[in-house]
Structure 1
Amino acid sequence: MESQTAYKILFTDYPDVVNVEQMCNMLGGICNKTAYKLLKSNKIKSFIVGRRYRIPKLNILEYLELIDKSTA
Protein backbone atom coordinates (compact mmCIF):
# COMPACT_ATOMS: atom_id res chain seq x y z
CA MET A 1 0.00 0.00 0.00
CA GLU A 2 1.28 3.46 -0.80
CA SER A 3 2.45 5.25 2.35
CA GLN A 4 0.34 8.39 1.91
CA THR A 5 -2.79 6.35 1.23
CA ALA A 6 -2.24 4.11 4.25
CA TYR A 7 -1.54 7.10 6.47
CA LYS A 8 -4.76 8.85 5.41
CA ILE A 9 -7.00 5.78 5.61
CA LEU A 10 -5.81 3.90 8.69
CA PHE A 11 -6.06 5.01 12.31
CA THR A 12 -7.75 8.31 11.44
CA ASP A 13 -9.12 8.63 14.99
CA TYR A 14 -5.61 8.79 16.43
CA PRO A 15 -3.19 11.75 16.52
CA ASP A 16 0.05 11.71 14.52
CA VAL A 17 2.02 10.85 17.66
CA VAL A 18 0.44 8.42 20.13
CA ASN A 19 1.16 7.20 23.64
CA VAL A 20 1.59 3.57 24.74
CA GLU A 21 -2.09 3.09 25.61
CA GLN A 22 -3.19 4.32 22.19
CA MET A 23 -0.59 2.11 20.51
CA CYS A 24 -1.95 -0.92 22.38
CA ASN A 25 -5.42 -0.18 21.03
CA MET A 26 -4.10 0.33 17.50
CA LEU A 27 -2.42 -3.08 17.64
CA GLY A 28 -5.61 -4.89 18.53
CA GLY A 29 -5.61 -4.47 22.29
CA ILE A 30 -2.21 -5.88 23.18
CA CYS A 31 -1.17 -5.57 26.83
CA ASN A 32 1.18 -2.87 28.10
CA LYS A 33 3.91 -5.42 28.82
CA THR A 34 3.98 -6.53 25.18
CA ALA A 35 3.90 -2.91 24.01
CA TYR A 36 6.91 -1.98 26.13
CA LYS A 37 8.79 -5.04 24.85
CA LEU A 38 8.20 -3.87 21.27
CA LEU A 39 9.39 -0.37 22.13
CA LYS A 40 12.45 -1.40 24.16
CA SER A 41 13.59 -3.86 21.50
CA ASN A 42 13.20 -1.05 18.92
CA LYS A 43 10.82 -3.12 16.80
CA ILE A 44 8.62 -0.04 16.86
CA LYS A 45 10.66 3.13 16.81
CA SER A 46 9.72 5.76 19.34
CA PHE A 47 11.10 8.62 21.37
CA ILE A 48 10.82 9.56 25.02
CA VAL A 49 9.50 12.87 26.32
CA GLY A 50 10.16 13.16 30.03
CA ARG A 51 9.53 9.61 31.17
CA ARG A 52 6.88 8.71 28.62
CA TYR A 53 7.14 7.01 25.26
CA ARG A 54 5.76 8.79 22.21
CA ILE A 55 5.25 6.78 19.05
CA PRO A 56 4.73 8.34 15.61
CA LYS A 57 1.75 6.73 13.88
CA LEU A 58 3.95 6.22 10.82
CA ASN A 59 6.22 3.89 12.81
CA ILE A 60 3.26 1.72 13.79
CA LEU A 61 2.25 1.43 10.13
CA GLU A 62 5.83 0.43 9.29
CA TYR A 63 5.79 -2.23 12.02
CA LEU A 64 2.56 -3.64 10.60
CA GLU A 65 4.29 -3.67 7.19
CA LEU A 66 1.46 -1.66 5.69
CA ILE A 67 3.92 0.82 4.22
CA ASP A 68 7.41 0.44 2.86
CA LYS A 69 10.11 1.89 5.14
CA SER A 70 12.13 3.13 2.18
CA THR A 71 9.29 5.31 0.85
CA ALA A 72 8.17 6.74 4.20
Structure 2
Amino acid sequence: MAVREIFAGMPWWVKWIAVPLIVIVVFGGLIASVVGFVIGLLFKVLVFVVLVGGLIFVVRKFMSSSERGGW
Protein backbone atom coordinates (compact mmCIF):
# COMPACT_ATOMS: atom_id res chain seq x y z
CA MET A 1 0.00 0.00 0.00
CA ALA A 2 1.58 3.25 -1.15
CA VAL A 3 1.47 6.56 0.67
CA ARG A 4 -0.49 8.08 -2.19
CA GLU A 5 -3.19 5.44 -1.77
CA ILE A 6 -3.40 6.10 1.97
CA PHE A 7 -3.85 9.86 1.49
CA ALA A 8 -6.30 9.42 -1.42
CA GLY A 9 -9.30 8.95 0.86
CA MET A 10 -8.34 11.64 3.36
CA PRO A 11 -9.77 15.17 3.44
CA TRP A 12 -7.59 18.01 2.12
CA TRP A 13 -6.94 19.44 5.58
CA VAL A 14 -5.29 16.21 6.73
CA LYS A 15 -2.75 16.35 3.88
CA TRP A 16 -2.10 20.10 3.98
CA ILE A 17 -2.56 21.06 7.66
CA ALA A 18 -2.47 18.10 10.06
CA VAL A 19 0.48 16.17 8.58
CA PRO A 20 2.79 19.23 8.23
CA LEU A 21 1.96 20.25 11.82
CA ILE A 22 2.85 16.76 13.06
CA VAL A 23 6.12 16.89 11.10
CA ILE A 24 6.98 20.28 12.64
CA VAL A 25 6.19 19.04 16.15
CA VAL A 26 8.18 15.84 15.77
CA PHE A 27 11.14 17.13 13.75
CA GLY A 28 11.04 20.82 14.75
CA GLY A 29 14.25 20.69 16.77
CA LEU A 30 16.11 18.95 13.98
CA ILE A 31 14.81 21.40 11.39
CA ALA A 32 15.80 24.36 13.60
CA SER A 33 19.28 22.88 14.12
CA VAL A 34 19.83 22.42 10.39
CA VAL A 35 18.57 25.92 9.58
CA GLY A 36 20.74 27.41 12.33
CA PHE A 37 23.78 25.52 11.08
CA VAL A 38 23.22 26.68 7.49
CA ILE A 39 22.75 30.33 8.55
CA GLY A 40 25.85 30.14 10.76
CA LEU A 41 27.86 28.65 7.90
CA LEU A 42 26.69 31.35 5.48
CA PHE A 43 27.61 34.03 8.02
CA LYS A 44 31.11 32.56 8.43
CA VAL A 45 31.54 32.42 4.64
CA LEU A 46 30.46 36.07 4.41
CA VAL A 47 32.94 37.10 7.12
CA PHE A 48 35.69 35.14 5.35
CA VAL A 49 34.97 36.86 2.03
CA VAL A 50 34.95 40.30 3.66
CA LEU A 51 38.25 39.64 5.48
CA VAL A 52 39.98 38.29 2.38
CA GLY A 53 38.67 41.22 0.32
CA GLY A 54 39.93 43.66 2.94
CA LEU A 55 43.32 41.97 3.02
CA ILE A 56 43.61 42.14 -0.77
CA PHE A 57 42.59 45.83 -0.69
CA VAL A 58 45.22 46.66 1.97
CA VAL A 59 47.97 44.71 0.19
CA ARG A 60 47.23 46.39 -3.16
CA LYS A 61 47.13 49.82 -1.53
CA PHE A 62 50.44 49.14 0.24
CA MET A 63 52.07 47.82 -2.94
CA SER A 64 50.95 50.77 -5.04
CA SER A 65 51.98 53.34 -2.42
CA SER A 66 55.35 51.66 -1.78
CA GLU A 67 56.16 52.06 -5.49
CA ARG A 68 55.60 55.82 -5.13
CA GLY A 69 57.73 56.10 -2.03
CA GLY A 70 55.51 55.49 0.98
CA TRP A 71 52.06 54.96 2.39
Fold similarity call, TM over 0.5: no
- TM-score, normalised with respect to structure 2: 0.22
- TM-score, normalised with respect to structure 1: 0.22
Larger Rg: 1 or 2? Answer: 2
Q: Which has the higher helix share?
A: 2
Q: Which has the higher strand share?
A: 1
